[in-house]
Amino acid sequence: MLDRYAIKVIRWPLQTFSALPDKLGITANQITIAGFILGLMALPALMMQEYYWALAFILLNRIFDGLDGAVARRQGISDCGGFLDITFDFLFYSMVPFGFVLANPEANAVAGAFLIFSFIGTGSSFLAFAIMASKRNIESPVYKQKSLYYIGGLTEGTETIGCFVLFCLLPQHFAVIAWIFGTLCWITTATRIWAGYQTLKDTLPKA
């Protein structure tokens, strides 16, 4: 829901800082991989309940995630880059609640499982529509710079990162936040399924 506004805020600094790695010959894919490795460091930090360290790694992952796209737009957007980016994103998103489950299984296990379950809904509806939209050459009117069709919803990347920040700042309330955000994710999944189905139905070739 907020991604279209967040992109406008971060576009200029990302474009500015993307010039340096481009001049140094650093590729967008290398930035994607480096960002994912940094994000993975949040898992042991969460396990040890070092929540501020985990937050630092989460934010670094997201900075690199934005930077790789800006560099890719300088060097040329590629399918393999888009594949790496979206795959690592969904792995990272599911890793964070898993880390909180490992940190406190008794208090967080069920809520964490529900949140990961909800991410399956948002992720599968997102990717399934992107595949079908690509087959029909349907382009997003909002996210034209993306390598695949970006279908929005109530909970997008900006909201998810906001949720992760709250997790790290208020770890004792992880379960409550996870239940609330997971429910919002299911609303997103439902609206994506409906909107995606209607869009694809309306673009069926006429006999």
Confirm if 67 and 21 have CB atoms less than 8 A apart.
yes
In a domain, 21, yes or no: yes
Model's pTM, two decimal places? Answer: 0.86
Residues in the chain: 207
CATH number at residue 119: 1.20.120.1760
Out of 68, 85, 89, 202, the active site residue is 89
Establish whether 89 is a catalytic residue.
Answer: yes
In a domain, 67, yes or no: yes
Provide the residue range defining the domain that includes 136: 3-202
Interval 122-172: pLDDT, tens: 999 999 988 888 887 776 554 455 555 666 778 888 999 999 999 999 999
In a domain, 190, yes or no: yes
- State how many domains the chain has: 1
| Crossing angle of the two packed helices 157-169 and 79-103, in degrees rounded to 10 | 30
In a domain, 207, yes or no: no
